[in-house]
Structure 1
Amino acid sequence: MRKRWVGWRVGLACFGVALGGMSCSKRPAAEDAGTGGSGGPVEPAPLGHDSTKLGSEEVTLEVSSLSVSGSGGGEKAPGTSFVTGDPLSVKGRVRGGEGLEEHIQWHLQPVGPQTADADPTTSEGPEAVFRAFSRVGTAGSRTPNPPLEYELVAALLLENGKTLQVRLPSTTFLRQDTEDVLRQEYLDFGTSFRPSRAQISIPSRPTFNTGNYSVIAQKNTNGLASLVDQMQERVNALLNNDVQEKPVGTRGLTPGTVVVSPGAPILTVGALGDTDPQGDDVCVGVRMGGRCNGSILAGPNGIAETRANNRGAQMKLADIVSSAFRNPQRNRAAGSVVLNSFHTQGRALDIDPRLSTVPGKTSAQLMCVVEAAGDALVGASNSFTEKGAALFLPCDSPSGDHVHVER
């Protein structure tokens, strides 16, 4: 057998165009038919190829497959995305050159400063497996991370000094999509929660997304929607917890008889009535903005004329969420020092009652109502008033800017 010399080199991109006299266009699918016109299985067209004459024989280098598999959900089709740790597997073949497949040289070239050298950087043979690495870092950012991306080069040096070379550009093949750019952040930060692609979705409500991407990660399916709905139910129950002590229309009462009481007290602010007196019934106790926050008495005519909770106060919490999901980079940029913050897991809401108006209630009172609802739903250790990302305050503090609720 004649001695054959093989090798590889890296040059400018070539995919679907001619480079240095070498064809980089794809072979028509019909040429790859395994059994011609016999009706048998047909080999898929190569992802890229290059060919030249070696004496009277045409030699063709082909990249036959590129696949990504790993935690993202099994084998992926050519051209799909990846994260660090996923095996990036390539296969090639040589037509018209016996024994040359063992000398295919593979090189995974990082594109952009955010992408580190793969491991290995080069490999030889008909198949190779690489793993990607990231240089993005964890400084914190309010903008999306750039995707990790690689250009794949397959080369074969022939004995006549010619080089066959196939390049698969990152724009078509090995580039992270948005879901994997987001997943990559969790790997870069080393968080305990590392979402699969199945745990990433478009948020059901715009206010749930206070991150850098159009998608969010949630440890539990619809966790944020469930949390805000349950919080809203409890908040509005507290706002409408006045008690009908005497049925409307009851007669023969003394003027000082309590017809409606303001319900159970709320944290540090006490009982907060949500009822206005009707007829000649009388409000006693605290008033706020002209509204009654105390008990309502039967009045001079001795008739109970007031229906409890007649204001029908309601808060729509989804409209006053100031922060919900935050990706790790955004979470750090927001000033959080908690690596495994529940915000990064789609399990926390920051609710700002200052964005809502309820007649007869101050912002501080509403802050306490929301915190009390959170205490009842998730426990006092998981519901608290804050300023910013790390300053804990009493619920009625004038400096508080949101109630944090996590589950």
Structure 2
Amino acid sequence: MKRNPRWWLAAGLTCVVLATGCKCGTEEAKEDAGPATGGSGAPPPPLVEVTKDIGGQPVTLALTEIFTRREGTTARTSFVTREEMVAHARVEGGEPGLVDRIRWTVKPVGTQSGPAVPAVATGPELVFKGTSALPRTGSRDPNPPLEYEVVATLVLEGGTLEAKLPPTSFIRQEEADILRQEYVDYGTTFQPTLTNVSVPGRTTLNRGNYSIIVEEKPGELEKLLSDVEAEVNRILNDDVQVVPVGTRAASPSSTVVSPGQAVLMMGALGDTEPKGDDVCVGARVNGGCAGVIRAGPNGIADTPANNRATRVSLERIITSAFRNPQRNKFIGSGTINSRHTRGLALDLDPRSLSIPGKDARQLMCVVELAGIRVAGEDNSFSENGPVTFLDCNDPAADHVHVQR
């Protein structure tokens, strides 16, 4: 039976290590039942504690804490493989120096988790890093988490004590670190921290495999979309009122309203419908006048410029925004350092828009021009697929790529 690919996702970006107690033979295991209740300065309760009678004297082995060595965050056991994991244990009772005889073993869980480095150690402290055995072949599905089981063992003449987290409490990656691990695995130039991970304000900005995205500049995708949208709407409403409405023109053939600035290879595109007996000069495209408006027989300017007042929302024409590295590889992107993986790029397909006076090629050029004005000439271009660059008026162009 196929398992839900998000079975492993954590509800937040922090976690607490939990352990359940058990009794095995003459051993007694205790669990962390909550915050310490001792007086001031009392140590916190251990994660796992095992006590056994050795030579008539109780000896206790306690696994006290496990955490990721990461500055600026709360204690957590999620990780990426370039970060160190630290575990501490203590021994109570028995002869002096037993704490130095603690033997640690770290076991990977699942084929996706590579060997720990180191996999064994001795003493009261364990410091290790995980390794990834995940494929880098591209995928539309989320990666499984890397996870490890940590065991502390104390071998004595009268018996062996073993303290380990039960199967429900492995050191396991949370969703934010599963996503960050992809950047480590692919060796990208940009390596995101937790501050670069967020839930997008608009789900349309997420074309990745997870419920969260990475942005090199937090909030940049939303801003890029808003900026390009504002510029598209300026271009669609930039006709010029040459003769004021109600004013007599020099002649019936005088221009009353002229199109705005030229749109790349398409020239100037009109955004106004003639009124009264004013005349549209030039082609009608998609039901709208695409050219100059002249005064007409009465010689009076009857037409206000930009009276179509077109307003366009670009959100519904987003075909790609953030993509995680595995998704980026799956769709055939030519670079592991794509701006999409850094939350710095949008793909927009305006062919589905229906705007009077504009056909699909003209709209492609309008969006590309808007991107150029927002991000610069080198950062806005028309494409077919992820790697074929085209002129915006090429019928094969299927989207405009805009990046910061």
TM-score by length of 2: 0.91
* Match status 1:145 vs 2:143: yes
Contact 2:28 2:51 in 1 (8 A): yes
Map Cα deviations across residues 159-215 of structure 1 (whole Å, 9 max, x no partner).
11x211111146435111000001110000000101100110001111110000000
Partner Cα separation in structure 1 for residue 289 and residue 357 of structure 2: 7
Q: CA deviation at 1:27?
A: 7.0
Amino acid aligned to 2:352: L
Alpha carbons of 1:268 and 1:75: their partners in 2 closer, same or farther (altered >3 Å)?
closer
Partner Cα separation in structure 1 for residue 278 and residue 231 of structure 2: 29
Contact 1:68 1:75 in 2 (8 A): no
* Match status 1:195 vs 2:200: no
Q: Which runs of 5+ in 1 are unaligned?
A: 1-13, 34-38
* Match status 1:260 vs 2:265: no
Q: CA deviation at 1:55?
A: 2.7
Amino acid aligned to 1:23: E
Corresponding residue pairs, total: 385
Q: CA RMSD in A?
A: 1.8
In structure 1, the residue matched to 2:392 is 395
Q: Provide the secondary structure at the position in 2 that maps to 1:62.
A: strand
Partner Cα separation in structure 2 for residue 385 and residue 58 of structure 1: 74
Amino acid aligned to 1:47: L
In structure 2, the residue matched to 1:114 is 112
Q: Provide the secondary structure at the position in 2 that maps to 1:164.
A: strand
Q: Provide the secondary structure at the position in 1 that maps to 2:44.
A: coil
4+ residue segments displaced more than 4 Å: 27-33
* Match status 1:305 vs 2:302: yes
- Mapping 1:227-238, distance limit 5 Å: 227-238=224-235
113-122 or 251-260, larger mean C-alpha shift: 251-260
Alpha carbons of 1:126 and 1:271: their partners in 2 closer, same or farther (altered >3 Å)?
same
Map Cα deviations across residues 93-113 of structure 1 (whole Å, 9 max, x no partner).
111123211111111110011
Contact 1:156 1:165 in 2 (8 A): yes
Q: CA deviation at 1:359?
A: 2.0
Q: CA deviation at 1:18?
A: 2.7
* Match status 1:226 vs 2:231: no
* Match status 1:279 vs 2:282: no
Map Cα deviations across residues 300-346 of structure 1 (whole Å, 9 max, x no partner).
11111100010011221122111000011000001002111000000
Alpha carbons of 1:277 and 1:227: their partners in 2 closer, same or farther (altered >3 Å)?
same
Map Cα deviations across residues 324-376 of structure 1 (whole Å, 9 max, x no partner).
00011000001002111000000000011023221221111100100111122
Partner Cα separation in structure 2 for residue 29 and residue 222 of structure 1: 38
TM-score by length of 1: 0.91
Partner Cα separation in structure 2 for residue 388 and residue 30 of structure 1: 55
Partner Cα separation in structure 1 for residue 289 and residue 83 of structure 2: 63
Q: Provide the secondary structure at the position in 2 that maps to 1:24.
A: strand
Contact 1:49 1:63 in 2 (8 A): yes
143-152 or 245-254, larger mean C-alpha shift: 245-254
In structure 2, the residue matched to 1:66 is 66
Amino acid aligned to 1:182: L
Q: Provide the secondary structure at the position in 2 that maps to 1:251.
A: coil
Contact 1:250 1:304 in 2 (8 A): yes
Q: Provide the secondary structure at the position in 1 that maps to 2:162.
A: strand
Q: Provide the secondary structure at the position in 1 that maps to 2:183.
A: helix
Alpha carbons of 1:28 and 1:260: their partners in 2 closer, same or farther (altered >3 Å)?
closer
Partner Cα separation in structure 2 for residue 304 and residue 32 of structure 1: 86
Amino acid aligned to 2:317: I
Amino acid aligned to 1:371: E
Identity across matched positions, percent: 49
In structure 1, the residue matched to 2:381 is 384
Q: CA deviation at 1:24?
A: 2.5
In structure 1, the residue matched to 2:9 is none
Map Cα deviations across residues 135-154 of structure 1 (whole Å, 9 max, x no partner).
11311111101111001101
Alpha carbons of 1:401 and 1:20: their partners in 2 closer, same or farther (altered >3 Å)?
farther
Q: Provide the secondary structure at the position in 1 that maps to 2:29.
A: coil
Contact 1:240 1:274 in 2 (8 A): yes
Contact 2:243 2:249 in 1 (8 A): no
Q: Which runs of 5+ in 2 are unaligned?
A: 1-18
In the alignment, which of 210, 214, 224 is matched to residue 207 of structure 2? 210
In structure 2, the residue matched to 1:101 is 99
